[in-house]
Structure 1
Amino acid sequence: MKSYVVSLALGLLVGVIYALFQVRSPAPPVIALVGLLGILLGEQIPPLVKSLVGPQAAATSWLQHQVKPHVFGELPKCLPGTTTADATSSSKEPRNG
């Protein structure tokens, strides 16, 4: 919420500066801004309808919502009985020369 207030305040400041210098704003016309407001409101309607039509079951764990699958799939795992130090030392071969 704080970022919205800061954004609005900075927008007002820039608007005042434009007015003082009598410069026309490069912002889109008001009709475009009204259209954007309609888009933002429209994005909120489907989740609202979904929550009214079929209430979701209560989440039993934060884990379901916080932990997502890794982007690259399942990460590699160590073999049973092998530590990280064992794996790195066995992969390094002595160099001759």
Structure 2
Amino acid sequence: MTGPRPAAWRQQVIPLLTALLAGGLTGSVYWLIHVETPAPPWIALTGLLGMITGETAIKAARRTVRSDTTPTGNAQHSDKVF
């Protein structure tokens, strides 16, 4: 059977469900107090796309910097004393 292990699956699904529940709760509160959403959906989705793009770009830049500065071979373990 291929696919993610149960622990890895939970790590991916729990944040998604949390975000979905938080959004649903917020929408329900807005509906209960008769408040319109602060931004039209297309503006909100554009902002979300920008946040995701920025987060992805920062992660990629960090990986690039780390891979450029990581020593190769066993040199990184030379400070261990046995």
TM-score between both structures, scaled by the size of structure 2: 0.44
TM-score between both structures, scaled by the size of structure 1: 0.39
CA radius of gyration, larger in? 1
From the two aligned structures, give the one with the greater helix fraction. 2
